[in-house]
Amino acid sequence: MRTVYGINPVLEALKAASAIDRILLAEGRTGKAALDIIRHARQRNIEVARMPEEEIRRLAGTDRHQGVAALIHEEFKYYDIEDLISFWKESKEQAFFLILDSIQDPQNLGSLIRTANAAGLHGVIIPKDRASEVTPTVVKASAGATEHTRIAREVNLVRAIEKLKEEGVWTVAVEAGCRDTVYTADLDRDLCVVIGSEGKGIRRLVRESCDFCVSIPMRGQVNSLNAAQAGAVAIFEALRQRL
């Protein structure tokens, strides 16, 4: 059993046909968002239980629940990298993947998954160790995009890169100090974008496995972006080049 909280995450869980046991809605909530949730729940014959906000806060473990939570039977479903590759091939599109190396901040992870889904990526790959997994906080930060995005957890990211290379996918590391920028490099190809952790960046072996690297040009006093911001810039520039 897992808990998803927040208006958008609960709505997306309902739309994604997740195995929801019941919806918990705070007493007195009657706005448009609450009515949308009730309507979607009724369409799927899912119980909507009214209860005090304090009880929802206890179940969600946070005050940021927006008065609603969903109890889902199953744990979050991760895919294998082979599943992601199969999904890409079935789409008949250029490959577009995202590898996140040791992202530990759940807010950044959620934002990156939201970006990946918005840009139409075929999947996101994260490591099993020393990184955030998909938690209720990540689901909330993604605005529910986790419920629609294929996410694989791999023990060895270097091996994951090798599997993508075997399928003709180029891997590009996004980090400071690269000669090419996201705007000068050719990203209009079968591509996997690699983003490193907030503090240490991309680990050496993962970086050495990438085909090339790009940086994001800076002109102000601040000389870096966080992982979510850098990932969004790189992903949407790659998407722009494909349009």
Measured between alpha carbons, how far is 86 from 38 in angstroms, rounded to an integer? 36
Domain boundaries, the chain: 2-72, 81-242
pLDDT in the model for residue 18: 77
Q: Is 169 exposed, middle or buried (0-12, 13-18, 19+ CB in 10 A)?
A: buried
Say yes or no: do domains 2-72 and 81-242 share a fold.
Answer: no
pLDDT in the model for residue 68: 96
| Cβ-contact 79, 25 below 8 angstroms | no
SS3 category, 215: strand
Q: Cβ of 241: how many Cβ atoms within 10 Å?
A: 15
Closest listed residue to residue 154, CA positions, set 90, 84, 215, 70: 84
For residue 25, give both structure tokens.
Answer: 């809605």
Q: Which fold has domain 2-72?
A: 60s Ribosomal Protein L30; Chain: A; (3.30.1330)
pLDDT in the model for residue 185: 98
pLDDT in the model for residue 109: 98
DSSP code at position 155: S
| Cβ-contact 26, 77 below 8 angstroms | no
pLDDT tens for the chain, 243 residues: list them.
899 999 999 999 999 977 999 999 999 888 899 999 999 999 999 999 999 999 999 988 889 899 999 999 889 999 999 999 999 999 999 999 999 999 999 999 999 999 999 999 999 999 999 899 999 999 999 999 999 999 999 999 999 999 999 999 999 999 999 999 999 999 999 999 999 998 889 999 999 999 999 999 999 998 889 999 999 999 999 999 999
Q: Cβ of 181: how many Cβ atoms within 10 Å?
A: 14
Homologous superfamily of domain range 81-242: SPOUT methyltransferase, trefoil knot domain (3.40.1280.10)
- Residues listed for the chain: 243
Measured between alpha carbons, how far is 81 from 98 in angstroms, rounded to an integer? 11
Q: Which residues contact 77 (CB under 8 A, 6 or more apart)?
A: none
pLDDT in the model for residue 1: 84
